[in-house]
Amino acid sequence: MATVDRVVCEDCKVRIGSMVARGVVPPVVNELLTKPRRVVTAALPIRHDDGTVRTYNAFRVLYSDARGPGKGGIRFHPEVDEEEVKVLAFLMALKCALVDIPFGGAKGGVQVDPSRLSKGELERLSRAYVRAMLPVLGPRTDIPAPDVNTNEEVMGWMVDEYAFLTGRHEPAAFTGKPLSLGGSQGRREATGWGGAFVLAAYLQYTQKRDIAGLRVAIQGFGNVGSHIAEKLAQMGARVVALSDASCALYREEGLDVPALIAAKREKGSLSCVADGAAQRIPHEALLELDVDVLVPAALAHQIHEGNAQEVRAPIILEMANDPVSPEADAMLAQRGITIIPDILANAGGVVVSYFEWIQNHENRYWTFNEVMEALQAKLQEVTRALLDRCWKEREQCPLRAIAYELAIERILAAERARGHIA
């Protein structure tokens, strides 16, 4: 049986507490946003192909539902734990409020290395997750999506299990589904392409320039990293470095991004790619390259107090969730490095998830171009509004703090309208 508990998110307390101390958000935030509304934990017993049974820890956190049902991905990773899921659910609450879509924030995860599972074992794990979390899932309560090491196939199994358990076909209960089950065109590309749209809007607003000619290093070459690399290259950027878990590649003249994407899709990792023009560099060296934009698109806290002083890029575009630790965030700000925060930079995924949710309810589906045009317009609008506020209100412009302030104001407005605060 799943258990429900209300616990404090320590990293969330640090981030919000500093804002309360500076007087930029009211003290009531400590009561409403430093604790998640609901934490569900479960142990998932899975029968493996060899007949053995192993149990995997699973989590689902609803951080806030003030503005609407919870929304957030499910990740399968051996290092997933309850605290990480709470932090990510907190960031989802802020992200949905920042881009002004009618969702709260949620997140889920299973502590597992999916590379060690067969396809059948992975399907059984995915279905077990839905069975354990069924009381809190639904199109009007909490809506999962893909995240690290999950994809549209996993969402398809979950949609089917949900229908089996409830007796209803509810495509809007999950997003990031296969197209044949009510998924949206462009959902796979949405997070990566959305990051490129945000960066383009930021550069146009602050420097009156476009992306062409930018030198970019990207840490992470999964779904997000590969798609932002693809889009930035299409827009004329020079992607000089890429990495995945197996290796990091560097070429000053720029890497052949389409060829690397094709090779990774065929061979499974960058270490298998034969490219005599590129040199291999240590993973940590990618973060220290002298480039125009650094794009961390892997896991949390890859930039921390131990390596923040070595970062040389003047702009960091946070495509992973929480890739810069709070300590590193302060160190980079002191050095004048601009961080385009994750709750804006990687919001393309949840925006298109919202579009998918709308399409499911209307039973009318959009073309790829319609999705991308709507996504670009939405993210340009949000980026410009954030920068307008930033430039008008203060000389120093910490984008994360301004984004948090705006998101928290919207959440508090919803809490006030519900009568939860005066």
The residues annotated as belonging to the active site are 107
Q: How far apart are CA 350 and CA 196, in angstroms?
A: 15
Q: Kind of pairing, strands 238-243 and 248-250?
A: antiparallel
Beta strands in 196-270 (DSSP E): 215-219, 238-243, 248-250
Q: How far apart are CA 266 and CA 11, in angstroms?
A: 39
For residue 373, give Cα distances in angstroms to 227, 370, 417: 17, 5, 33
Matching residue, tokens 């607003």: 205
Q: How far apart are CA 354 and CA 374, in angstroms?
A: 11
Structural contact between residues 264 and 244, judged by C-beta atoms closer than 8 angstroms = yes
Structural contact between residues 184 and 257, judged by C-beta atoms closer than 8 angstroms = no
SS3 29: helix
SS3 7: coil
Cβ neighbours of 353 (radius 10 Å) = 27
Burial of 45 (0-12, 13-18, 19+ CB in 10 A): exposed
Q: How far apart are CA 381 and CA 377, in angstroms?
A: 6
Matching residue, tokens 């508090």: 412
Structural contact between residues 110 and 56, judged by C-beta atoms closer than 8 angstroms = yes
